Chains A and B, each alone.
Chain A
Amino acid sequence: MTTTAFYTPPTLSQKLAALLAETRLRLINVSRYPGQLGLEVIIPIVFAGMPILLGRATGGADAAANFALNTGTTNYVAYMLIGSNVFSIVSMAFWLLANWVRFEQETGTLEAVYLTPTSTLTLAAGVSLYSAVRGISAALIAYFLGCLIFGVNPLQGDVLLALLFIFVGLIPLYAFTFLFGALVLKVKESNALIGLMQWVISFLMGIFFPVAILPPMVRFFALIFPPTWMTNGVRSALLGVGFFFGEWYLDMAVLWTFLLFTPLFSAWVFRRVENSVRRNEGIGQF
């Protein structure tokens, strides 16, 4: 009597279960490092605190008025806190998703992951969900805490629209980081690449300044990057600094275009790189 093993592709509910299991695994793992979680709340506040204190000292009594002339709002505290917290979400997406393959490689589990019937994209979606939960929670706490410390009202403007810009922007953002993950898989020096990339992003998305002050060529690159639209969308919704196209729905439409295009493109690039690395015995090696 012989037994034949048949391979049946996982169903949608099985994929969803695998995705949520990956998210749960990561959340349990990080809950064991409360110090790290605490730092994720402190970092954006300290980071925003640098330009706030520098600006207050250099601008003196006219700090808010000068800031309004250059950016469109007198509320420089909220402006900086929004920048640093969106940066914190973006940065975490890069560290957790782009570095995910590298992390599995270093811990020696990547080869095993590739032998399971679950696709890389399903697991990556699980890591993205984990990263989004961790990043947004930390950013929200940091924003409210920062506003409390610096004495400004966090609930001004259209809060729901601001949240909508963040949630719509997350998908193209994670797709973009996945694209970067392909580069990490190929080049391997992930720490250095991600470390540099997070500062390039913070510069391009206008973390503490409007992208309008950038030279035209740099501004072009800034505008083809989803976090720039996220940051400006949140600032415009809360502080009224002005949408790029004048109306919120036009800016939102741009984010939706990113949302439709970048995941497909990133998945295609990642699969190509992944196959090429797998063929060259590169998956388990680092």
Chain B
Amino acid sequence: MRELGNFKMNNSTIRETAVPHHGLLATMSAFAAMVRKEFTIMLRYPIEFVASFGQVFLIIVILTLAASMFAPGGVQAGGGQTSGLVVYGFILFIFLSDTLWSIGFNVRREQKQGTLEQLYLSPASKFASLAARVTLTLFWTGLLSIGAMVLMSMMFGRLPFENGPLGLFILTMALSGTFGTGFAFAALTLRVKETGQTLANLFQFAFMVFCAPFFPFAALPGFLQFISRLIPLSYAVDAFRSTMMGYPPGYPELAPIGVELVIVTLFGLLMPPLGFWLYRREENRARRLGHLSEY
């Protein structure tokens, strides 16, 4: 009886504490655990923490000082609009860059570490696995962006900051689309393996040139502007910085703000499901061909 009683007690304990394998609760629980895992890994590298903040700050300072060399009074002339142009473009650049690496390339890291196969054998949601990386990017890169804005304001004077709510909406849609791009890049990484690192660099440079995060689109030659107009992220950059700078003369450059808003909203809504669909497709292919643990 006692043994039976013990068994009953253990059984009920299991039933009370175990996490269900299916449903929203299970997905949320797996998601929370994955976010926690990502944060724990990040907190274990304090030097990387400090270094990434220093890098962000230095890149913006270097570009702003470079731009000030073209002003009649040099650094003393200040440059609210130039700083705004660089900082708001940089925010989107750093989110895209972090997304490519933290979502796309982390899948590759799991593959190299040998944990990707195990991850896919567990009943945990695959979407939660990707979304957990997004959460980390949102938190850390968001903090970096705010820090960079504050420091730039202190160094070069007040940054233009207009139309906050609309700017936030454009940023949200741009980030949503960027995360979708990250999912699609993760799919590509599964296919091309080590070449993913070179591709991530190439995408970053393509973004720097065609989406003009650090300079106005007007500075690009005509044929490059044509390519810029084919990329939705270009409209996100243009709409975001034009809105935050209060639409100075000549901005937005690519299209009227209403048209840009439609493009950015569609990009934000459609890209995540498309990216995730591509990822699942590539993941199934890798599983069928036994490539998940190969690198």
Contact = CB atoms under 8 A, between A and B. Distances in A.
A80 interface: yes
A39 to B, nearest CB: 6
A187 to B, nearest CB: 7
- What is the interface of chain B mostly: helix, strand, loop, or mixed? helix
A57 B69 contact: no
B195 interface: yes
Interface residues on A, range: 35 or more
B152 to A, nearest CB: 15
A76 B67 CA distance: 11
B50 to A, nearest CB: 8
Interface stretch (A4-12, A153-161, A201-209): A201-209
Interface in B243-293: none
A56 B70 CA distance: 8
Interface of B: 45, 47-48, 50-52, 54-55, 58-59, 61-63, 65-72, 74-75, 79, 81-82, 85-86, 195, 198, 201-202, 205, 208-209, 212, 214-216, 218-220
Contacts of B218: 57
Contact of A62 (B54, B58, B63, B72): B72
Contacts of A147: none
- What is the interface of chain A mostly: helix, strand, loop, or mixed? helix
A193 B50 CA distance: 10
A199 B62 contact: yes
Contacts of A195: 51-52, 55
Contact of A55 (B50, B67, B202): B67
B70 A59 contact: yes
B82 A54 contact: yes
Identify which of A43, A51, A59, A70 gathers the most chain B CB atoms within 10 Å of its CB.
Answer: A51
Contacts of B62: 199, 202-203, 207-209
Contact of B52 (A42, A57, A192): A192
A189 B61 contact: no
Given A49-B209, A53-B219, A63 B47 contact: no
A189 B66 contact: no
Given A54-B63, A59-B70, A196-B54, A191 B48 contact: yes
B219 A57 contact: yes
Contacts of B55: 195-196, 199
A62 B73 CA distance: 12
Nearest to B85: A54
Given A208-B62, A209-B62, 19 more contacts: A42-B205, A43-B201, A50-B63, A51-B63, A54-B66, A55-B69, A57-B219, A62-B72, A67-B70, A76-B69, A76-B70, A189-B47, A192-B48, A192-B52, A195-B51, A199-B58, A199-B59, A202-B58, A203-B58
B70 A66 contact: yes
Contacts of B51: 192-193, 195-196
Interface in A63-122: 63, 66-67, 69-71, 76, 80
A200 interface: yes
A16 B225 CA distance: 53
A50 B86 CA distance: 10
Given A50-B208, A53-B219, A199-B54, A39 B71 contact: no
A151 to B, nearest CB: 11
A39 B205 CA distance: 9
A50 B204 CA distance: 13
B61 A46 contact: no
20 contacts: A36-B198, A50-B208, A50-B215, A51-B67, A54-B219, A56-B70, A57-B218, A71-B69, A76-B69, A76-B70, A187-B47, A189-B47, A192-B45, A192-B52, A195-B51, A199-B58, A199-B59, A200-B58, A202-B58, A213-B75
